[in-house]
Copies of this chain bind each other. A is one copy, B any other.
Amino acid sequence: MSAPSPLASARQRPAPGPDFSPLTALLTPRSVAIVGASGTPGKIGAIPVAMLREYGFPGQVFPVNPKAQEISGYRAVPELAAIDAPVDLAIVAIPAAGVLETLETCASLGTRAAVVFSSGFAEIGEDGVVAQAAMADLARRTGMRILGPNTLGVANINAGLVASFCPFFRPRFAAGGAIGLVSQSGAFGGYVANLAQDRGLSFSSWITTGNEVDIDVADGIACLAEDPGTRVILVYMEGARSGPRLIAALERARDAGKPVVVLKVGRTEVGAEAAASHTASLAGSDAVYDAILRQYGAYRARSVAEWFELGYAYAVGRPPKNAKVGLITVSGGVGVMMADEAVSGGLDPAPLGPTAQERIREIVPFAGTRNPVDVTGQMIGDLGRFAEMVEVVLAEHDYGSIICFNAGAGHTDESGFRIQKVWQDVRTHHPDAFIAVSGAVTPPVRRAYEADGCLVFTEPDAAVRTAAAMARSPVAAARGTMPDPMPRMELPEGTLDERTALRLLGEAGLPVPDARAAPDPDAAALMAEEIGFPVVVKILSPDILHKSDIGGVALNLRSAEEVRAAAVRVLAAARTHAPDARIEGCLVAPMLDTRNGVETILGVHVDPVFGPVVMFGLGGIFVEVLQDVALRLAPFGLEEAHAMIGEIRGAALLSGARGRPPADVEALAQALSDLSRFAAAHADRLESLDINPFLVRPRGEGAIALDAVLVTRRGDA
């Protein structure tokens, strides 16, 4: 690993050796010491020593045990200090009480990283929290990276390293696996190792982060992004300790071209903080994770099965290079099912042209010829003709994926290998296609398929869903360019009045109306004449959020007299219904015709983990009843803004549904991006911001913010 550790700069730790950072020591140590090593099989201190032997770890191994001479064929040492060579990685498998002292010794001897199996820290309550804080301090102080405590450990199968007491590394995983795993749960990490054993799959590397005193899930992702054996990163996540570090790790994986497939729990958790504004209540933290993962190119799986299938597919097969899919089936109905899945997943079952269809009919007169191609039961008896049909399909379009349902054909090794040979030929001529077969396949035949990079699925629909997920995955697409940062403005503190909020947004580049603050009814009338009729008059007070509810709004005023009367009325209503509110006068603004456009809502919520997040939704029932919103971490550019707009279910309303003119989506995207720049520039000052409604007019006519509530917090300075 030539690049510095993702945290090195942030933490001011001692400079690592010229070619060897502390995090490198976690996955590719040159030497390993096991403190608490044991020769008694099954003991927590015995398993890693035995594993290092079984996996043929090529570096030096030092079991530390004052009573033993030798463990698993390695010469034991009585104590750490007795080791006469540098130790890159220490495994700590002793009771909690002795851990801190041991780690101090490790650090003083120059150990780069430590894996602490020991439990009895933050997970047991207050005493443990204190001990763990001391461990965190030790890591910061010494620069030694610590995995755990309370971790099942780490493994790098390709490097022969198993620094874990998880029982599922037996039987031995083969070298050459391409799946890297980071799990925030040891139990789940072990379970996944068991799943992999059952499927005959191997890992490149496997990391369980335990209590995350130092190395966290983001570090794990960053490690795997640079692990040469890892082609796909599977992440099991409960939450991130630092949003920016998670994002940096996701970017690193994306830059390395490695897909990240995330299983994050807590989907239905209602956001912890109750907040007054819509934005906050909608941008509950799981929704923010969802948006961030999408924004930074990770794929969030909806089930354990999907998550693991995707890991399998990326590790063994090739991602589709385009959305076109060729479907081949022995059952017409299952072909329809595959087409259903393809279309719902965004794949394109592009039909064969007439000549190709004619050719298929020549081979099997009653075959389905369009796509899916239903080869009928003929293929079982006549693989020559089957192969011909497959060739016709492949020659027709540059299909990014080819998926076949064999049903029961190929259920014996003999018949299975005959069909597999057909696909082997296909693979030779189409080395970069996603190829998958589904149906009955025996384990030896499955292995033969997989050796060629052809995927095998039990269910035909799962094969198509996986191809679709891979085709959708934005791994390679670093979306658009970042906008320039916005200069910081002077923000007052607290809940700002509408006039101030709109003025600030206007300075930030958002389209706002000519809204003026009038201290009294006469001034209001004067301003209305300058603005031009009709106008709207509203009470101006930072303390009154729901102005209409107290009679604080007068619409469609067409003369100076009407304005003056309305201002009197509105001010009186405020004095009556909100006697304690600070009244700053009236706001006078042009009366805009909201029928000529689409009402939307723009908002900003500051997520405790990730920082400022921009929310977009359509007005009315879309946000409030359907919770149809899109979220993005600020700041972002126009491309991301357009992606965001396209994400909501009601997006069709902006492109001219129901006979409306198409809306000015360009102006909306510009406003979203500008809002995101404003949010990013003032992240430390923003509490929440709602622009509701934000009216998007027909194309070419722009957009405008009609109301805004901006709440700021005290500046740090």
Contact B333 A185, beta carbon cutoff 8 Å: yes
Give A342's nearest chain B residue, CB to CB. Answer: B268
B-side contacts of A198, CB under 8 Å: 458
Contact B624 A658, beta carbon cutoff 8 Å: yes
A250 → B minimal CB distance (Å)? 20
Contact B268 A125, beta carbon cutoff 8 Å: no
Mark A341-378 against chain B: 1 for CB-CB distance below 8 A, else 0. 00110000000000000000000011000000000010
Is there a chain B Cβ closer than 8 Å to A85's Cβ? no
A39 → B minimal CB distance (Å)? 21
Contact A168 B365, beta carbon cutoff 8 Å: no
A410 → B minimal CB distance (Å)? 10
Interface residue stretch chosen among A139-147, A523-531, A553-561, A647-655: A647-655
User: Which residues of chain A from 177 to 210 have any CB-CB distance to chain B below 8 Å in the complex?
Assistant: 184-188, 190-191, 193-195, 198
Mark A426-445 against chain B: 1 for CB-CB distance below 8 A, else 0. 00000000000001100000
- Supposing A621-B650, A625-B653 touch, asked if A408 and B191 sit within 8 A by C-beta, the answer is yes
Is there a chain B Cβ closer than 8 Å to A334's Cβ? yes
Is there a chain B Cβ closer than 8 Å to A238's Cβ? yes
Is there a chain B Cβ closer than 8 Å to A403's Cβ? no
Mark A650-664 against chain B: 1 for CB-CB distance below 8 A, else 0. 101100011000000
Is there a chain B Cβ closer than 8 Å to A460's Cβ? yes
For the complex, count residues of A whose C-beta is within 8 A of B. 66
A200 → B minimal CB distance (Å)? 15
Contact B187 A304, beta carbon cutoff 8 Å: no
A645 → B minimal CB distance (Å)? 14
Is there a chain B Cβ closer than 8 Å to A277's Cβ? no
Is there a chain B Cβ closer than 8 Å to A461's Cβ? yes
Contact A625 B266, beta carbon cutoff 8 Å: no
Is there a chain B Cβ closer than 8 Å to A620's Cβ? yes
Pick the residue among B167, B267, B411, B458 that contacts A344 (CB under 8 A): B267
Is there a chain B Cβ closer than 8 Å to A236's Cβ? yes
A365 to B337, CA, bound (A): 51
Is there a chain B Cβ closer than 8 Å to A330's Cβ? yes
Is there a chain B Cβ closer than 8 Å to A303's Cβ? yes
Give A331's nearest chain B residue, CB to CB. Answer: B187
- Supposing A184-B333, A331-B188, A408-B167 touch, asked if A624 and B657 sit within 8 A by C-beta, the answer is yes
Is there a chain B Cβ closer than 8 Å to A265's Cβ? yes
Is there a chain B Cβ closer than 8 Å to A493's Cβ? no
A122 to B184, CA, bound (A): 57
A186 to B408, CA, bound (A): 10
Is there a chain B Cβ closer than 8 Å to A166's Cβ? yes
Contact B626 A649, beta carbon cutoff 8 Å: yes
Mark A590-603 against chain B: 1 for CB-CB distance below 8 A, else 0. 00000000000000
Contact B460 A304, beta carbon cutoff 8 Å: yes
A488 to B459, CA, bound (A): 50
Contact B266 A123, beta carbon cutoff 8 Å: no
B-side contacts of A268, CB under 8 Å: 339-340, 343-344
Mark A236-250 against chain B: 1 for CB-CB distance below 8 A, else 0. 101000000000000
A186 to B431, CA, bound (A): 33
B-side contacts of A408, CB under 8 Å: 166-168, 187, 190-191, 193-194
B-side contacts of A344, CB under 8 Å: 267-268
A81 → B minimal CB distance (Å)? 32
User: Which residues of chain A from 318 to 337 have any CB-CB distance to chain B below 8 Å in the complex?
Assistant: 330-334, 336-337
B-side contacts of A624, CB under 8 Å: 657-658
User: Which residues of chain A from 457 to 483 have any CB-CB distance to chain B below 8 Å in the complex?
Assistant: 458-462, 465
Pick the residue among B340, B366, B440 that contacts A123 (CB under 8 A): B366
A425 to B234, CA, bound (A): 37
Is there a chain B Cβ closer than 8 Å to A82's Cβ? no
A254 → B minimal CB distance (Å)? 25
A496 to B193, CA, bound (A): 68
7 A-B pairs whose Cβ atoms sit less than 8 Å apart in the complex: A124-B366, A166-B408, A186-B331, A190-B408, A267-B340, A268-B344, A625-B653
The 10 A-B residue pairs whose C-beta atoms are closest, nearest first, are A187-B331, A187-B407, A190-B408, A304-B459, A265-B337, A265-B336, A238-B333, A194-B440, A267-B340, A191-B407
